[in-house]
Amino acid sequence: MAQERVAKAGVAAFVMRNREYLVAVKADSGAPALHALHRADEIREPQTVGARHG
């Protein structure tokens, strides 16, 4: 895949289950891979997330 040779990624909008996601498109072992990117308003501060008890 050409992206693997040049070690670059692209940015795209991707729709799944009626929701649009911003993704980075990279080559991974010869196949395209999507990595979800998060907007600032989607990220929570660690202190606001409840601790998990295992």
pLDDT digits (tens, 9 = 90+) for 24-45: 998 888 888 998 888 888 777 8
Instruction: Compute the C-alpha angle 35/36/38, nearest 5°.
Output: 140
Give the integer Cα–Cα distance in Å for 14 and 19. 8
**Encoded tokens for 51:** 């601790």
What is the rounded average pLDDT for all residues in the chain?
A: 81
Residue 27, pLDDT score: 87
Starting from the edge strand earliest in sequence, which strands make up the sheet with 31-37, in order? 10-16, 19-28, 31-37
Amino acid in the structure at residue 1 = M
12 band by pLDDT with thresholds 50, 70 and 90: very high
Predicted TM-score (pTM) of the model is 0.57
Residue 38, pLDDT score: 83
**Encoded tokens for 18:** 């009626």
Residue 7, pLDDT score: 75
Do the Cβ atoms of 26 and 37 come closer than 8 Å? no
